Structure 1
Amino acid sequence: MHLLDAADLGYGAAPVLRGVTLHVAVGERVVLLGRSGAGKSTLLAAVRQALLDQGRRVALVPQDHALVPQLSALRNVLMGRLDDHGAVYNLATLIRPRRADRDAAMTVLDQVGLCPEADRAVETLSGGQKQRVALARALYRGGDVLVGDEPLSAVDPAQADRLAGVIRDAFPTAILALHDVDLALGFATRLIGLKHGQVLLDGAPDIPRDLIEALYAR
């Protein structure tokens, strides 16, 4: 998938990233690394738009979760497929979910360990639980590619490891920003390192650790 070609990415007059060219093969698990502000979110947004422009079905886990706080975890998950149906079907789904839809949503809530919280309003959940609802919504949506901006940052390391396995099994291709280097090394087939508005490294996860650590040095 050819996604970007010498693109300057950012908002306003000053690009955050310059001259980015990116190809991602089907089946790759790409992890973006770098300090906060290095441009990971900017690159993910551009990648997602490029995928959508190509007609790919994209599942998204945004950094801010983008949940409706007053709705239950279950109904937030069901929103993952709203664009597959018309307004009448969607309204009925949010008021009284069909059994098949509820069962499918409950399956993914079980995958992320949230079945007991299915009918709780999202605003009553912890940060880690909200993040898992956002991941469950992406799993329910399904698609060619998962794009995730720190989708596992609010859960403990053991949970993060398990959920990374769920992502790996559910999506043929994934492009994620992760803050945990060890988690990234265990998940990725390819690492992209950002610093000072540039892609400084791009390769397999056997990149020397000191090159990765240099991404985080001031």
Structure 2
Amino acid sequence: MPGIKLSGVTASFGGERVLGPLSLNLEPGERIALVGKSGAGKSTLIRLLYQQANNQASLIPQDLGLVHALPVFHNVYMARLDQHPNWYNVVTLIRPFKRERTEIGPLLEQLGMSEKVWATVASLSGGQRQRVAIARAIYRKANILLADEPVSALDGPMAHVVMSHLNDAYETSIVALHDVELALRYCHRIVGIQDGQIALDEASSRLSESDILPLY
């Protein structure tokens, strides 16, 4: 399985540097939590990692990237659009095949979304939309997961359910998390971003919440 390596990367917007220069390696089988306050550069870093992944990663962006006019089912199915010919995708839009129904249905049930399978995304709450994006990422079955605050709209118990499912689906991941408890519990390594730089890079087992909170 591949990892991702960034070396000396920078990012600028409007002529102002917002990230870097920094280097970061994600090894196969490693789960990294990106922590730090809003605006520190976590989202920019995830976008750069996604570009570097060369189609080997599944992405959960902070804006979720859902098509609000389509049902939940089709938003999840879109994770594999590139794996089927155009005619197959068109038929699925009109009348989904049994294979996709039997794969997507149980996945949504695990995330507490089975009753919403044919509801449009526009009709869902923020937390429900987040779970649709999570289901799409799991359905993708890529080598690496890159997720930007994937559980920010979920309550405590559901956030734990979702993080557990993501870990079951992906052995290798980088997840931006605002919740320090979740970061320590579900990730092997904590990378703290502050003012566009890596301010902390340590194994989760060697850290406590008090070590991370100063980054916020």
Query: Do these two structures clear the TM 0.5 threshold for a shared fold by scoring above it?
Result: yes
SS of corresponding position for 1:21: strand
SS of corresponding position for 1:148: strand
Tell me whether 1:17 sits opposite 2:19 in the alignment.
yes
Partner in structure 1 of residue 181 of structure 2: 182
Tell me whether 1:3 sits opposite 2:22 in the alignment.
no
Partner in structure 2 of residue 215 of structure 1: 215
Partner in structure 2 of residue 119 of structure 1: 118
Q: Distance in 1 between matches of 2:192 and 2:145?
A: 19
Judge which range, 6-15 or 183-192, deviates more. 6-15
2:4–2:53 CA contact under 8 A, matched in 1: no
Tell me whether 1:86 sits opposite 2:89 in the alignment.
no
Deviation of 1:12 after TM superposition, in Å, equals 4.0
Deviations 1:132-190, CA, capped at 9 Å, x for gaps: 00000111111101111010111101110111110111111111101111111111100
Q: How does 1:1-218 map to 2 (within 5 A)?
A: 1-52=3-54, 56-205=55-204, 206-216=206-216
Q: Distance in 2 between matches of 1:89 and 1:8?
A: 41
Q: Distance in 2 between matches of 1:204 and 1:43?
A: 19
1:6–1:19 CA contact under 8 A, matched in 2: yes
Deviation of 1:15 after TM superposition, in Å, equals 2.0
1:78–1:94 CA contact under 8 A, matched in 2: no
TM-score, scaled to structure 1: 0.94
Q: Distance in 1 between matches of 2:28 and 2:198?
A: 21
Q: Distance in 2 between matches of 1:89 and 1:40?
A: 37
Q: Distance in 1 between matches of 2:33 and 2:110?
A: 22
Runs of 4+ in 1 over 4 A off after TM superposition: none
1:10–1:42 CA contact under 8 A, matched in 2: no
Q: Distance in 2 between matches of 1:176 and 1:210?
A: 20
Give 5+ residue unaligned stretches, structure 2: none
1:35–1:195 CA contact under 8 A, matched in 2: yes
TM-score, scaled to structure 2: 0.95
Change (3 A) 1:133 1:2: closer
The aligned length equals: 213
Give 5+ residue unaligned stretches, structure 1: none
Q: Pairwise CA RMSD of aligned residues?
A: 1.2
